[in-house]
Amino acid sequence: GDAITARGGTGQFSAAESKPRRLDWVAFAVLAVVCGTALALELTVLGTSLPRRRG
């Protein structure tokens, strides 16, 4: 790993210790809300998987 990071390769990304930061958690929360809303709408009001009734 040291030889790769010394040359500036992709090893620099994997060698650096990092944890999710605040912006990462905000993005995750937005993603969860959007996916949860889409799932709720699909299962209740706006279902697109079921065949439509003919009038």
pLDDT tens digit string along 4-47?
A: 556 666 666 666 677 889 999 999 999 999 999 999 998 888 77
How far is residue 28 CA from its own chain's centroid?
6
pLDDT, residue 19, reads 85
1 pLDDT exceeds 60?
Answer: no
pLDDT, residue 39, reads: 92
Name the DSSP class of 44: T
At residue 2 the predicted structure's pLDDT band, cuts being 50, 70 and 90, is low
**Which amino acid does the sequence have at 41?**
L
DSSP 10: T
HSE at residue 6, side-chain half, CA atoms within 13 A, is 3
In this prediction, residue 46 carries a pLDDT of 78
